[in-house]
Structure 1
Amino acid sequence: MPTSFLGSALRGTFFFIFGLWWSVRYPLKYLRRKAGAESQPGHGTHRVEVLEGMVKAFFALAGILVEQFVPTGPHLQLYSPKTHSWVDLAPWHYTTIYLFFLLSGLVDVLSHSPLKLPLGLDRLSLALALLVEGLLFCFHDYGDAVLDHHLHSLLVVAIFAGALCALLEVFLRDHIILETFRTSSFLLQGSWLWQIGFVLSPPWGGPGWDQTDSSNVAFLTMCFCWHYAGILAVLAANSAASRCCNESCQLKFGDIDVELDCGVCLRRGPKGSDGALLPESTLDDK
Structure 2
Amino acid sequence: MGTLMGHILPGTFFAIFAIWWGFCVAVKHFHSRHSRNKLRKPNPYRSSITFSCLCCPSSALRQMPLESYLKLICVIIGILGEGVTGLKHRYNDTLKRQTWIFVEVNAQHIAMFFSFGFASFIEILVYAKYNLPKGIEYIVNIFALGVEGLLFHFHLHGRNEIDIHVHTLLVYNIVFCVCASIWEYNRPNEILATYCRIATILLQGAWFYAAGFILYFPSNDPYWLWAPTHGSILILTVIFVWLGLLICMFLFIQSALVWSILRRRYRNLARYSALNGDDGDNDETDTEEKIENSNTHQLKSFKTNNGNAIINIDNHADDNSDSQIEFEQEQKYTSTI
Amino acid corresponding to residue 4 of structure 1 in structure 2 = T
Bigger Cα Rg: 2
1:104 matched to which residue of 2?
Answer: 119
1:214 matched to which residue of 2?
Answer: 230
1:190 matched to which residue of 2?
Answer: 205
1:73–1:91 CA contact under 8 A, matched in 2: yes
The whole-number CA distance in structure 1 between the counterparts of 2:219 and 2:144 is 33
1:227 matched to which residue of 2?
Answer: 243
Superposed structure 1 runs of 4+ greater than 3 Å apart? 36-41, 44-49, 80-86, 204-208, 256-259, 267-273
1:62 matched to which residue of 2?
Answer: 77
The whole-number CA distance in structure 2 between the counterparts of 1:107 and 1:222 is 38
2:266 to 242, 250, 253: 250
Amino acid corresponding to residue 243 of structure 1 in structure 2 = W
In the alignment, structure 1 residue 266 sits paired with structure 2 residue 274: no
The whole-number CA distance in structure 2 between the counterparts of 1:234 and 1:192 is 15
The whole-number CA distance in structure 2 between the counterparts of 1:48 and 1:234 is 28
The whole-number CA distance in structure 2 between the counterparts of 1:160 and 1:252 is 44
| Aligned-residue offset at 1:66 | 1.5
More helix by share: 1
Seen in structure 2, the aligned counterparts of structure 1 residues 107 and 18 have a Cα distance that, compared at 3 Å, is same
1:111–1:122 CA contact under 8 A, matched in 2: yes
The whole-number CA distance in structure 1 between the counterparts of 2:180 and 2:283 is 34
In the alignment, structure 1 residue 179 sits paired with structure 2 residue 190: no
The 5 Å alignment of 1:10-159 reads 10-36=9-35, 50-69=65-84, 72-74=85-87, 87-159=102-174
- Note the aligned Cα RMSD (angstroms): 3.2
The whole-number CA distance in structure 2 between the counterparts of 1:20 and 1:252 is 29
Unaligned runs of 5+ in 2: 37-42, 53-61, 89-93, 286-337
Seen in structure 2, the aligned counterparts of structure 1 residues 116 and 246 have a Cα distance that, compared at 3 Å, is farther
1:101–1:129 CA contact under 8 A, matched in 2: yes
| Aligned-residue offset at 1:245 | 2.2
Equivalent residue of 1:133, what SS? helix
| Aligned-residue offset at 1:61 | 1.4
My pick for the range that moved more, 27-36 or 96-105, is 27-36
1:120–1:173 CA contact under 8 A, matched in 2: no
2:308 matched to which residue of 1?
Answer: none
Question: What TM-score results when the alignment is normalised by the length of structure 1?
Answer: 0.80
Equivalent residue of 1:170, what SS? helix
The whole-number CA distance in structure 2 between the counterparts of 1:148 and 1:268 is 61
| Aligned-residue offset at 1:203 | 2.5
The whole-number CA distance in structure 1 between the counterparts of 2:258 and 2:240 is 27
The whole-number CA distance in structure 2 between the counterparts of 1:137 and 1:199 is 17
Unaligned runs of 5+ in 1: 260-264, 274-286
Equivalent residue of 1:251, what SS? coil
Higher relative contact order (CA 8 A, sep 6+): 1
Seen in structure 2, the aligned counterparts of structure 1 residues 199 and 115 have a Cα distance that, compared at 3 Å, is same
Seen in structure 2, the aligned counterparts of structure 1 residues 102 and 144 have a Cα distance that, compared at 3 Å, is closer
2:28–2:45 CA contact under 8 A, matched in 1: no
Q: How many residues align?
A: 262
The whole-number CA distance in structure 1 between the counterparts of 2:150 and 2:191 is 27
